[in-house]
Structure 1
């Protein structure tokens, strides 16, 4: 049987843990040998944090009753021997539910009341207020208690039509999409707005995050799902019913929330679930398979996908087969096919991206640290030449040499004004960058769009205000790129001057590229455009919805700005740390040269002893450089080995198939 998603994710988690440990050991080794300057330490810290905290999110998106919760049970929780997520008839997930693991939080289910939709805070802000959530502790070793507690996500409550409208579940302009009204004129809506499940499931502990999103109404009423959570998922599993095919509401979810120009086609899987409803005792296996293939072809054509992007499965039979260890039923359910596609496609791609980032980071770290070792080697070479020049010379020449070194040291110390001037210009330009990307500046750029969205009634000018806002944000990133280029030119010129005057080997690090952040802005803009069309005019007319929309947008944009700032800060720190390192090494060099001359003048054999010490230090530095190359090469090879492992697993799967 092909390697399951669980197995491939487990391999990915093992690689991440080992890689993080190796990074930590490298940092300790570098610290012991005084190679850990501020920039290198920051680079190592970021690499370790990235590899340790890397999350892989799989979002399950579908209309009600397509079997999402059952699919989650079958893929991830069959080991409990029973259903964990509510998936029986009449008991289904009613609110968006995230499952993950945070070691700082005890196992629990946290539920945000639906009434919070009447307040202006965005979901991200509510996450920062845990006291506002209803919390239920979970016993992960008791499947019955766990399943019972998780039934909460299926709870509903009755409200009036006016309350349903205020909460986003009733739309006068689209009566066909409204929930049923009972004899008392009441409407059933979800009791909870959002659920967070924190359990120490092996996959969740390794960084898997599962997002379960229930139905078109819930998705459309919560902008943060469609402009933030779903677009950032590494894989989106869109589920349909094999018995119903693509319905009108299914098509609405697909077109409005899952497909944009920027969508990565490999990150979207369409699953035709419940193929067991087509298992007819009066039909032959060949006839049943032909019917399934027709459904797949029809689905692919309607959604505009290649047929191989549609996978037909039975989540319910797959779960039963895993629990009862029925290999034949598991094969018929086709669940292993989906696991294989998820594993090879999503995990292989995720590991490749993370591995590439690690390799780039380690290579940059090797260059920066190697520069410090080369400075030390050059200083030793200069000392060796200086000392060999004193062989056979009298005390007067030695004294003259000491005076010359002291004079060089004094001139170097006086030249500190030039170095201070470089720092001063550098910091002034950086302050401009921080001003452009700061939270205050973002709020100012969003003011016009916020005012337009918060006007009463139909927002006729919202599309223009929206476009103008993103044009200004892109313009700001372009200004940052221009400022970075100006700083880079200043650094190159200043470093060249200092290299010539003081014999430094400064090299300006490559400036940060704002291009990827502009691409992120383009993606966010396209994800939001779905809300600005005529079809959503009435929804936008509701001030509470518009407020949620602008807050969701602000949260996403703030993240882009913070990441751009982090790149600029690391670049700046790298340049400054390089200068600090060479200043420090030069001052040490002066001290060592003077110490050597003093020892030579005091003892007849001091010169030969010092030359011998320098030769030993040169050998030690060569060994240090070789060890650094060995350690960094091992880390780069480790991520390459992880990729080879993923390729080998995929090849083995194909061979078995």
Structure 2
């Protein structure tokens, strides 16, 4: 990847669309050749949807007046030839702002009133409903109109001190951080709680999501922001002032909301903005460079982050240079160096994750489709041997052999009935395991912590209740893992018996491993312990804040349990779809055997024709095996497209079915 971030992201989008296109053609080819069972089909649909809808979120976090909005303008919106995000002296972004694109929604700016914080519904609830929002339709090509609308995110209102406290903007335990009271005893607070700009900008259309966050007080008052939205970000840019370095409030944001996420450390980039304030005509270029280097090194040491992940830029000069097409000023702004770190690191990592998803899906379908083709080959070989044995046989012998096929088919159907009994038993046990992680059980598991949060006054021993809650959540996952091990053993025994008695090619799917979700529960627990600490004692005495905290925690934990449940369902679908496929194929084989014997008995001359037909079917299966191998090798990235191959035709938009 090279060039500005916009160009790098366009390359990423083209790569995703190409893979999604090939996956769709592969699915169609498999379906037309009856090689796709429901489990693999669902997995392919999920991977294709991931390719087409995958989003990359970049979050900008900083205290007020660090130049977040200007950096967003310089990185993403210079093509408008003007500022889009408000960027001026003082506070500009007073509420979190999401910039994204959903074609199902109208183009425009949606604003959620700050008063919704006083209501019990979570931020997630509000983000998923149209009710309660103020909406401003926009023309996507009118940069001036968009910029004017976005100035709304800087709006404030004045409220009584008690209301400011309830909203989370007045903390009795931190008087130095509180906004000043005016002559009427009112407090200035943001007018809006959240803003979403839905805009068909080229980068947003390809899945980029930009999250612009306000300062420390606004972040701390919205637990869902740090528990749910920021953890979703694939990259977080933490912006400091190059002239001031790490201030006290900067350090508070880093420690409370960013620095604790150890496993996500590689997604953090620290940006020292406004280096143009250090461009002093009384200092030599070497002295300026040394000053910038010292600030970068000091910031890296204070934040305990690798020095290579601290970059100094001038967003303002970078935007100015991009609009004026001034290459010398752009180089001086150092914006390209930030893009060189952000783009390849973020997008290459994202592409590696998506490629692994493709490879996993392709490996599953290749295994299953290959098993189906091998089973068909075996069935054809058995039919050919059986028909060869009919040469010269009289009608009585043929009738006897036909009866034998019917007897085998009857025995097979009896075995199939036992398979259904096995499936019902495993379904019941799996449903019991899934109930442990379901919404009802989770509500019960979180009840003690929620009850402790609802207690009036100072919350004593809240951290211990929090710890016990997460012990229970981890235990649930461990319990389900143990149950899965038992079910895996039952399935292995049943599949071995069916393979031996019926000649099936069943393969037990890999047992889901839930250790990653147990680790994620521990990560959630550790990264949000600060909400229960001494610094939040008085804030925890506020019912509204406690309600938001409980909701944010429930949403994050629910997401972990849902992901684990998804793995269980994939395991169930993979195991049972194999059984259904094998039963279907075997029934079809019995029908063909009976049909062949009937035809031979009625006309002896049809024997050679039927054998030739079987030979042709065998050759067709070998052709399908070769095409399957080629398609999978290309999608897995182990083989380039060959002109005329199914994958090359798919990439060109031509159906590979034409050459099947």
TM-score w.r.t. the length of structure 2 is 0.95
Per the TM alignment, residue 520 of structure 1 is displaced from its structure 2 partner at its CA by 1.6
2:217 corresponds to: 217
Per the TM alignment, residue 2 of structure 1 is displaced from its structure 2 partner at its CA by 5.0
Q: Take 1:238 and 1:371, find their aligned partners in 2: how far apart are those partners?
A: 51
Tell me the secondary structure at the aligned position of residue 10 of structure 2. helix
Q: Take 1:631 and 1:53, find their aligned partners in 2: how far apart are those partners?
A: 23
1:256 corresponds to: 256
2:523 corresponds to: 523
Corresponding position: 1:534 with 2:534: yes
2:609 corresponds to: 609
1:646 corresponds to: none
Tell me the secondary structure at the aligned position of residue 136 of structure 2. strand
Tell me the secondary structure at the aligned position of residue 183 of structure 1. coil
Q: Take 1:71 and 1:431, find their aligned partners in 2: how far apart are those partners?
A: 50
Q: Retained in 1: the 8 A contact 2:153–2:195?
A: yes
Per the TM alignment, residue 229 of structure 1 is displaced from its structure 2 partner at its CA by 1.1
Q: Take 2:180 and 2:639, find their aligned partners in 1: how far apart are those partners?
A: 54
Corresponding position: 1:500 with 2:500: yes
Map 1:325-474 to 2 at 5 A.
325-474=325-474
Specify every segment of 5 or more residues in structure 1 that has no aligned partner in the other structure, as ranges.
Answer: 642-657
Per the TM alignment, residue 232 of structure 1 is displaced from its structure 2 partner at its CA by 2.0
Tell me the secondary structure at the aligned position of residue 336 of structure 1. helix
Tell me the secondary structure at the aligned position of residue 61 of structure 2. strand
Tell me the secondary structure at the aligned position of residue 130 of structure 1. coil
Q: Take 2:577 and 2:226, find their aligned partners in 1: how far apart are those partners?
A: 41
Q: Retained in 1: the 8 A contact 2:5–2:76?
A: no
Per the TM alignment, residue 638 of structure 1 is displaced from its structure 2 partner at its CA by 7.7
Tell me the secondary structure at the aligned position of residue 618 of structure 1. helix
Give a deviation string over 1:350-384, Cα, whole Å, max 9, x none: 11111112111111111011111111111001111
1:201 corresponds to: 201
Structure 1 runs (4+) greater than 3 angstroms displaced: 638-641
Greater alpha carbon shift after TM alignment, 55-64 vs 128-137? 128-137
Tell me the secondary structure at the aligned position of residue 131 of structure 1. coil
Per the TM alignment, residue 41 of structure 1 is displaced from its structure 2 partner at its CA by 1.2
Q: Retained in 1: the 8 A contact 2:37–2:577?
A: yes
Map 1:175-190 to 2 at 5 A.
175-190=175-190
Query: Structure 1 residues 367 and 170, CA, compared in 2 at 3 Å: closer, same or farther?
Result: same
1:652 corresponds to: none
Q: Retained in 2: the 8 A contact 1:70–1:315?
A: yes
Per the TM alignment, residue 306 of structure 1 is displaced from its structure 2 partner at its CA by 2.6
Per the TM alignment, residue 263 of structure 1 is displaced from its structure 2 partner at its CA by 3.6
Q: Take 1:365 and 1:321, find their aligned partners in 2: how far apart are those partners?
A: 50
Map 1:463-612 to 2 at 5 A.
463-612=463-612
Query: Structure 1 residues 263 and 420, CA, compared in 2 at 3 Å: closer, same or farther?
Result: closer
Tell me the secondary structure at the aligned position of residue 245 of structure 1. coil
Q: Take 1:530 and 1:25, find their aligned partners in 2: how far apart are those partners?
A: 50
Query: Structure 1 residues 559 and 261, CA, compared in 2 at 3 Å: closer, same or farther?
Result: closer
Map 1:80-99 to 2 at 5 A.
80-90=80-90, 92-99=92-99
Greater alpha carbon shift after TM alignment, 432-441 vs 412-421? 412-421
Q: Take 1:2 and 1:243, find their aligned partners in 2: how far apart are those partners?
A: 30
Give a deviation string over 1:210-244, Cα, whole Å, max 9, x none: 01111000110000111111122111100000122
Tell me the secondary structure at the aligned position of residue 637 of structure 1. coil
Query: Structure 1 residues 27 and 470, CA, compared in 2 at 3 Å: closer, same or farther?
Result: same
Tell me the secondary structure at the aligned position of residue 406 of structure 1. helix
Give a deviation string over 1:577-624, Cα, whole Å, max 9, x none: 100111011111111001000111111211111111100000001111
Map 1:152-301 to 2 at 5 A.
152-260=152-260, 262-301=262-301
Per the TM alignment, residue 91 of structure 1 is displaced from its structure 2 partner at its CA by 5.5
Per the TM alignment, residue 415 of structure 1 is displaced from its structure 2 partner at its CA by 2.6
Q: Retained in 2: the 8 A contact 1:2–1:336?
A: no
TM-score w.r.t. the length of structure 1 is 0.96
Q: Retained in 1: the 8 A contact 2:157–2:191?
A: yes
2:118 corresponds to: 118
Query: Structure 1 residues 57 and 14, CA, compared in 2 at 3 Å: closer, same or farther?
Result: same
Q: Retained in 1: the 8 A contact 2:416–2:583?
A: no
Q: Retained in 2: the 8 A contact 1:55–1:209?
A: yes
Specify every segment of 5 or more residues in structure 2 that has no aligned partner in the other structure, as ranges.
Answer: 642-660
Map 1:140-151 to 2 at 5 A.
140-151=140-151
Q: Take 1:129 and 1:344, find their aligned partners in 2: how far apart are those partners?
A: 35
Q: Retained in 1: the 8 A contact 2:67–2:273?
A: yes
Q: Take 1:431 and 1:356, find their aligned partners in 2: how far apart are those partners?
A: 29
Per the TM alignment, residue 318 of structure 1 is displaced from its structure 2 partner at its CA by 0.3
Q: Take 2:639 and 2:105, find their aligned partners in 1: how far apart are those partners?
A: 31
Q: Take 1:390 and 1:556, find their aligned partners in 2: how far apart are those partners?
A: 67
Corresponding position: 1:53 with 2:48: no
Per the TM alignment, residue 640 of structure 1 is displaced from its structure 2 partner at its CA by 9.3
Tell me the secondary structure at the aligned position of residue 530 of structure 1. helix
Q: Take 2:357 and 2:594, find their aligned partners in 1: how far apart are those partners?
A: 45
1:655 corresponds to: none
Q: Take 2:455 and 2:197, find their aligned partners in 1: how far apart are those partners?
A: 37
Per the TM alignment, residue 509 of structure 1 is displaced from its structure 2 partner at its CA by 0.7
Query: Structure 1 residues 196 and 40, CA, compared in 2 at 3 Å: closer, same or farther?
Result: same
Q: Retained in 2: the 8 A contact 1:95–1:218?
A: yes
Per the TM alignment, residue 305 of structure 1 is displaced from its structure 2 partner at its CA by 2.1
Q: Take 1:412 and 1:184, find their aligned partners in 2: how far apart are those partners?
A: 87
Greater alpha carbon shift after TM alignment, 227-236 vs 632-641? 632-641
Per the TM alignment, residue 391 of structure 1 is displaced from its structure 2 partner at its CA by 2.1
Q: How many residues align?
A: 641
Per the TM alignment, residue 416 of structure 1 is displaced from its structure 2 partner at its CA by 3.0
Per the TM alignment, residue 128 of structure 1 is displaced from its structure 2 partner at its CA by 2.5
Corresponding position: 1:635 with 2:635: yes
Q: Retained in 1: the 8 A contact 2:377–2:621?
A: yes
1:129 corresponds to: 129
Tell me the secondary structure at the aligned position of residue 311 of structure 2. strand
Q: Take 2:244 and 2:640, find their aligned partners in 1: how far apart are those partners?
A: 45
Q: Retained in 1: the 8 A contact 2:216–2:253?
A: yes
Tell me the secondary structure at the aligned position of residue 213 of structure 2. strand
Per the TM alignment, residue 422 of structure 1 is displaced from its structure 2 partner at its CA by 0.9
Per the TM alignment, residue 7 of structure 1 is displaced from its structure 2 partner at its CA by 1.6
Q: Take 1:583 and 1:161, find their aligned partners in 2: how far apart are those partners?
A: 71
Give a deviation string over 1:245-287, Cα, whole Å, max 9, x none: 1110001001111011534221110000000000011111111
Query: Structure 1 residues 158 and 637, CA, compared in 2 at 3 Å: closer, same or farther?
Result: same
Query: Structure 1 residues 380 and 512, CA, compared in 2 at 3 Å: closer, same or farther?
Result: same
Q: Retained in 1: the 8 A contact 2:64–2:91?
A: no
Q: Retained in 2: the 8 A contact 1:355–1:640?
A: no
Give a deviation string over 1:123-155, Cα, whole Å, max 9, x none: 001123212111111111111111001111111
1:75 corresponds to: 75
Q: Take 2:163 and 2:550, find their aligned partners in 1: how far apart are those partners?
A: 22
Q: Retained in 2: the 8 A contact 1:358–1:639?
A: no
Per the TM alignment, residue 45 of structure 1 is displaced from its structure 2 partner at its CA by 1.0
Tell me the secondary structure at the aligned position of residue 41 of structure 2. helix
Q: Take 1:311 and 1:410, find their aligned partners in 2: how far apart are those partners?
A: 74
1:102 corresponds to: 102
